Structure 1
């Protein structure tokens, strides 16, 4: 881990620093869960910012690491600054709403909240668009020489990330993440994924973290290009299956039971 962080600082100092800032934010919010009993959708109000800070830290460090494989151009600097600013705006609003005991997502109860909800959605779309741009760079020329398996793992991870990050539009159009029931109620610890209804956040989570999982598998376990392709396609199939399950209004536990 030390080697990763030291090397990342050289590769992309901005995203290295932003990741550390997000990690600090996650720790602060986690501490605040012990001092607050306020709940939103049945979960401690500070768990949401914890999850978002951690997710953004992991994303920032991941794309910062990958960006060093590309020809270093001004557009990469724009990419780093754009995702930093856009994600910072989203994190600040989520944190402020937590401090007020209010939901950040799907909250249009006042004109201000409605404007901020739209602003968050646009920021998330902006990050997806910038990541799509990064993806196209990995299909271009001038890349640092990488093994075919690892290179394709990064490509698959980026493509799945973009597709399933945009799946957030599905939740936005519904103004809810649950299917078959209202948001809230019994959920898995910390993650708070519904145990009673379909939950669109699960496929969203799995698809976006393909960005880390598939390249890690390719780097440490999968040595053959066809193994990488097979795992990437199976990963996508499972994620789509989880999405379909949620759209049917059935919780993840129902999928586990059917597989058992």
Structure 2
């Protein structure tokens, strides 16, 4: 792990530190979740920002690692700082609202909260579009130094990340993440996914984290490009099936 962190820091120091800050923040909020009784819709208020902070760490460190393969230039550097500003705003706002015992997502109770919710949606969309741009660079460029299966793992991982990140609009358009029942019903501990009603968050999670899973498989376990391509297609179909079931 130490070698990974040292290498990551040398590849993209900004995203290394940003991811580390998010990880520390998740730890602080984990402590708060144990020593406070704040709830939002009957669920521990800190669970949501913890999940977002951890997911942001995974995203920042993944992108910090793979953008190292791209040619230096304005694009990757702008992506780095755009990610820090946009996702930093999103996680901090979610944490602030949690500390106040208030909703962050789907909060239309006042024009201010509605505007901040819209700003979060715009931030997430901007990061998604920017990630798609990084994906285009990986498709257009030549990377002879990378194992072919690993390269295709990166490419397909980005495609699935973008697709299932945009799936967030399914929930945003409904102003709810539960299909067929109210938000806040008790589900899987910590994750909160509903066990009784449809929950698009499951597909959202599965699809987006192809960004980590497929490159890792392509680097460490699966060295045949055809197999990693097939696995990527199957993975995507499974995520789509999970979404269809939720709907």
Name the stretch that deviates more: 55-64 or 32-41.
32-41
Cα distance in 1 for partners of 2:143, 2:233 equals: 24
Cα distance in 2 for partners of 1:143, 1:181 equals: 48
2:79 pairs with 1:79: yes
Aligned CA distance change for structure 1 residues 61 and 144 (closer, same or farther; 3 Å): farther
Runs (4+) of structure 1 moved beyond 3 Å? Answer: none
- Alignment root-mean-square deviation, CA: 0.9
* TM-score when normalising by structure 1: 0.93
Cα distance in 1 for partners of 2:104, 2:176 equals: 12
Contact 1:70 1:144 in 2 (8 A): no
Cα distance in 2 for partners of 1:90, 1:122 equals: 10
Cα distance in 2 for partners of 1:55, 1:124 equals: 13
Q: Which residue of 2 aligns with 1:59?
A: 59
User: Equivalences for 1:99-248 in 2 at 5 Å?
Assistant: 99-143=99-143, 145-247=145-247
**1:209-245 deviation line (CA, Å, top 9, x unaligned):** 0000111111111111111011111100110010000
**Unmatched 5+ residue regions in structure 1?**
248-260
2:16 pairs with 1:16: yes
Contact 1:70 1:142 in 2 (8 A): no
Which structure shows the bigger proportion of residues in helix conformation? 2
Contact 2:49 2:91 in 1 (8 A): yes
Cα distance in 1 for partners of 2:91, 2:211 equals: 20
Cα distance in 2 for partners of 1:41, 1:231 equals: 38
**Unmatched 5+ residue regions in structure 2?**
none
Q: Which residue of 2 aligns with 1:32?
A: 32
Question: Equivalent residue of 2:222, what SS?
Answer: coil
Contact 2:147 2:219 in 1 (8 A): no
Cα distance in 1 for partners of 2:60, 2:223 equals: 26
* TM-score when normalising by structure 2: 0.98
